Amino acid sequence: MDFIDQIKTIAQRIDKVKDKVINEEATKTAFIIPFIEALGYDIYNPGEVFPEYTADIPVLKNDKVDYAILSEGKPTILIECKCCQDSLDNFKHTAQLHRYFQNTEARFGVLTNGITYRFYTDIDTGHIMDTKPFFEFNLTKFNDSDVNELKKFSKANFDPNTLNDTAQNLLYTKEIKRLVTEQFANPSAELVKFFACQIYNKRMTSNAVEKFTEITKASLKEFINERIAERLKSAMEDSEKIVEDTKETTEEIEKQPLGIENAIVTTEEELEGFYIVKSVLREVLDVSKLQSKDTINYFGINLYGKVNQTVCRLYFNGKRKYISIIDANGKEVKKEIANLDGIYGVAEFLKDRITYLTEGKYISEARKVEAE
């Protein structure tokens, strides 16, 4: 199972059993240990994952960090765990990890409640943990970019020296994005004057500043909305180039409010279908290139997450199930399947589609999925 699939499996477990997990030990068993294992660390080897690791702090009297990831016998990552019902914003939790970090050789500290993972290091002062995390991963809401950053902490990719530069970039990027968000909501006088001075040649009185504050705020909101509209339009145009009969669907999506993603629910059946497609294509493709995109109408599977490189679509939301594939004539053709095993029945067509997307041709130009 791929890394992202393992992460999604843990995320699904959170949705199912979170309300039943009411203490720290249950959180470790249900969520945190599987997470550490997904990162590639051997949870059964205390030489690699050491539970209840004692930090050398005499005044704490046997106080221990929950887990330490070891390399050559030395701690590299400390993991402090809390119950999934607890908030990580409690200062005592961060202070506790701060003490452990300062008194070990670890380069990174992680504070988690099994759902959110906050990653810390010592960017500001060597061997003293920063007060702000440089990266936060939430299992209930993450994207491909988040997964790629998380993967850097896996056993196969972990490099403390490289990660130090990455941590700095992530922290500074996070802070700049926070500042941008604040400026969009409430532009500062400096930002207002910066824009106003470019277009207003009179003296900036208090009334002028007040006036341009509102104008700036409105302009920033319009700018963002216009960029979103342009991206949606571009995505729809790309989709229309591939699938001739999706015009009605794209028009419906265009009319939906921007908050429509809240109505999209990715089902376990759709994810299982995704895994089967990966299994079918594994012999002809590096399946890490396959990404999914759930929509209100279908579950799409694409190369590199690009809508203009659609491999297939799963229509599992109705009473009847369909898988659609782009045929040799460039049209989307739906094939009804009785159950998930029906995906194996179109395996050759899926492989043909990959050949076309990667090599620009179909194995058999005459091959075409029979429409239902």
The answer to whether residues 51 and 81 touch, using CB atoms and an 8 Å cutoff, is: no
User: pLDDT by residue (tens digit) across 259-269?
Assistant: 545 567 888 89
Q: How far apart are CA 75 and CA 81, in angstroms?
A: 16
User: pLDDT by residue (tens digit) across 99-114?
Assistant: 889 888 899 999 999 9
Residue 238, C-beta contacts closer than 8 angstroms, at least 6 positions apart: 306, 307, 308
Record the pTM.
0.57
User: pLDDT by residue (tens digit) across 300-355?
Assistant: 999 988 888 899 999 998 889 999 988 767 788 889 998 998 998 888 889 888 98
Residue 56 pLDDT level (bands cut at 50, 70, 90)? low
Q: What is the chain's length?
A: 372
Ramachandran angles phi, psi of 209, nearest 5°: -60, -45
State mean pLDDT over 251-260.
Answer: 48
Residue 24 pLDDT level (bands cut at 50, 70, 90)? very high
Q: How far apart are CA 368 and CA 356, in angstroms?
A: 13
List residues bridging with 127 in a β-sheet.
Answer: none
DSSP state of 26: H
Give the mean pLDDT of the chain.
85
State mean pLDDT over 89-98.
Answer: 91
21-25, 90-94, 220-224: segment of lowest average pLDDT: 220-224
